[in-house]
Structure formats: C-alpha cells, structure tokens
Amino acid sequence: MPRADVRRAAVPAAGHEVRATHEFRGMRTVEHYFTVPLDHSAPSDGSAETITVFAREYVSAAHSAEAAAQLPWLLFLQGGPGGRGNRWGSLGGWSKAAAQDFRILMLDQRGTGLSTPIDRRTLPARGSAAEQAAYLEHFRADSIVADAELIRRALESPAWTIYGQSYGGFCALTYLSFAPEGLREALITGGLAPLTGSADDVYRATFQRVAARNDEYFGWYPEDRDAVERIARHLRCTPELLPDGSPLTVERFQMAGAFLGGNTRVDSLHYLLEDAFVDTPGGPRLSDTFLEQLTGVVSRRSNPLYALMHESIYGQEQATNWSAWRMLGENPWFRPDAEPLLLTGEMVYPWYFEQDPALQPLREVADLLAAKQDWKPLYDPEVLAANTVPVAAAVYSDDIYVDRDLSLRTAAAVRGLQVWETADFHHDGIADDGERIFARLLGMTRSGGR
C-alpha cells in the first residue's frame, strides 16, 4: 500500500470536548472526549461515520494550571489490544517521573473504556457477523495512530513524546511508519513487533519461551508442580464452575500461565495455587477463593477485543488462521492432556469463543477475522529504515510475550533505534521499576542533544 493512502493527511481535526477536571492526591486530571472518523480513509465531507475516543490528562499538582499548560505532552499507549488506559489514584513509578516535565495523556484506545465501546452487547448492533468483522477492521494500530494524530492537532500540540508498553510499542512502530512528523521521540518497553513474517513465527518463538519459564517457575516452587497436576486431575473428572457459571476446564486453568509473564506477578501464581482446594462433605473441591481469582485471568468479559483482535496484530497482508492453535500442534507438551501439564502464555485459541460466555456470541466474527487475508500493512519498512525520530526501546531478554530475538531483529531495521536489553525485568517491568526504566529510555533518546 502506498504510504500516502495510510497517512490520511486530508482528514479534518477531531472534535474536542473537555467535560471535567479534578484534583486529588497531588495530581490534576482532565477528561477529554474526541470525535474521530471510524474509517480514516473515508471522504472528509462530513458524511463519514464517527466514533468517540476518550483520553484522560494527568499532570502533577506541583505545577500551577498556567505552568502545566506550557508543558509538552506525553502520549501513553498501553498494552492490548483491547486494553483501556490506566486509571491512576495517584502518580507513582514512571508516571511520577514523567509528570515532572510532561502532561501525560492516557488514551482509551478506540473500542475500549469510555471510547465508543465494543463488546458482546454492542457489536451485534453492526448487523451480521460479516458486518461486525468489517467494523472491527478499523480497530487496529493504524487507526489508533490516526486517532492520535487527530488528537495531537486538536490539542494544538507540536510533535509530542510517545511511550508504548507492549502492544503500545507495536502502535509506536506504526506511528513511526506513517506519521513520524508527529513525534518528538518514542520510548518503547517490551513492544518491538516483527515488521515482516507471519504470526506463526511469533508463536513458534513464544511457545519456547513459555516452556522455559514454566521450568524456571517450578524450579522455584517445586511443590506447585504437584499442585498443578492435582488441579488438572481433579478437573478431568469433577465438573467445576466459575462464578459466572461457565465451566473451568483444564485448558482454561492453563491460562493461569499469564502470571508467568511478570516480575512480581509470577510469585502471585504460587499464592493462587495454594488456595486451590477445600475439604467438603463430598470430598475435595476447588475453593471459591481460587475460582474467584482465576475468573479474572480466564474471562475476557472486560476486554473482548483482546481475544477478537489479538492475532490480527501480527496479520501483515495475510490470514492468521488461528496461528496459536495451529502452532500448538508443533508444541504438544502444552496440550491440556499432557503430563506434566504446562501453563500457557497470551495465546488465543478458538475454544475461547466456546467456553467464555462473554465471547460465545462473537465466535463467527472471530472466525472471519482469523480467515481475513487482506489486512493492511501496519509498518513501512522503508520509512523505518530511514527513521530520524529518536527512539529507545527496552528489550527484556526472557520476555514470554514479545520474543527477544524477534525484537532485536526489528530494532536493527529501524534507523537510530537504541536498545537497552536487560534480564532484570519481564514483560511488565514498568510496573516494578517504571521510574528507572522511563528515565533511562528518555535519557537515551536525548543523548544526541535533541
């Protein structure tokens, strides 16, 4: 696709409304609502459908209102897809560091949070499954970046700083590809996406890293090896229901491997497993405490876009065809009937849309998205190879979600991108020492004097 078709420079500025301002615990927040085109390539004559995108501004109360208005903007692009912006009760970690010099804009990416929502209740209003799938084509990184550029103009901001975590880093690469003139600098943590190749390449790599992380975890907590096996045996012969009434199957229990992607969260897996069983008159059963905690891990009720759109973030002009499910065939030790049982990572499988009540109405839509072969390109390798925007990225050596080797390949393809590789953190490093990570990356981008 020619670059000019993606940049959509003719689209008018976004509508902008400020609805509320609050001050508490050392910070001020401002609520911004923007009106943007659903399809940024649609005619700009006012006839195109629009949606709402919400963003919350955070600024340190140490700055007067007048001084804060002079601060440059930092746009935070959170993980996902389908994750709404963080809701902070106070500034801390990287946000406390950033608020010294920036106004932080926390985006509810289109389809999430207070932006025009997408879920099992709203999506059917679009019509048939095919019409719903066509609607969702406008909820990828290219559209998120186009929203951001309209928002930047509406705020009358010069080129701004962006900070992308995980999927937010993928969006940052799209931004660098199609609207680099809007960027002063880009910071990326755990989010260097492959620029070429297929989703199969991603899952082949990440399955291996998840297996290694299982081995590491059970080395720390050998007693949890028995706990996992006991839970799996129990689920194979005893029906257990989650609080939403849906069955807890072995494969859903394996989703507890999401904890393995964290620094401190990994130890929370041990606390989850130690709560697993209680003795009842009918024999051992899974405890309500365990089932309640696990519901938050296995249900996509609050972020259905994650399941619907996850593989599409690797769809570069080709179908993903349920890549993780197919790659499971190459990694049979992750099967739910394998012994010993391994816990999984962020993979999304077709059975999610059979076992999760929040996703069941969306199964046909998910199949259509998995079969879509003509996804638009998310990156422009030629533009990235000639990049002039300062970029710094933290690459985590043992990240089970964004593979280190694939990340370094991408870094080498982006002119001037500086890498800080570290084994000190896992995928959620900014939750553990965000202030240090932010300061280091910002310093790297500015070391050249810009």
Residues with a known catalytic role:
166, 374, 427
Task: Return all residues near 249 (Cβ < 8 A) that are at least 6 apart.
Answer: 235, 336, 355
d(CA 173, CA 195): 9
- The DSSP letter of residue 159 is S
Record the tokens describing residue 197, joined without a space.
């190749």
Residue 162 near residue 401 (C-beta atoms within 8 A): no
φ, ψ of residue 247 to 5 degrees: the values are -75, 145
How many whole angstroms separate alpha carbon 429 and alpha carbon 104? 19
What tokens appear for 13 in the block? 């500025």
> Which DSSP string do the residues of 175-188 spell out, in sequence order?
HHHH-GGGEEEEEE
Q: What is the DSSP string of 61-117?
A: TTS-HHHHTTSPEEEEE-SSSSPPPP--SS--THHHHHTTT-EEEEEE-TBSTTSSB
Residue 164: which of 259, 92, 76, 94 has the closest Cα? 76
- Write the DSSP assignment of 277-298 as a string of letters: EEEETTEEEE-HHHHHHHHHHH
DSSP code for 42: S
Q: Are 180 and 383 in contact (CB under 8 A)?
A: yes
Full strand arrangement of the beta sheet holding 15-24: 15-24, 27-37, 50-60, 103-108, 73-77, 160-165, 183-189, 391-396, 417-422
Tell me the C-alpha distance between 114 and 74, whole Å: 20
Q: CB–CB of 411/417 below 8 Å?
A: yes
- E strands, 171-329, in order: 183-189, 277-280, 283-286
- Under DSSP, the state recorded for 37 is E
CA 284 to CA 133: how far, in whole Å?
Answer: 44
CA-CA distance, 401 to 262, in Å (whole number)? Answer: 10
- Contact present, 168 and 79 (Cβ < 8 Å): yes
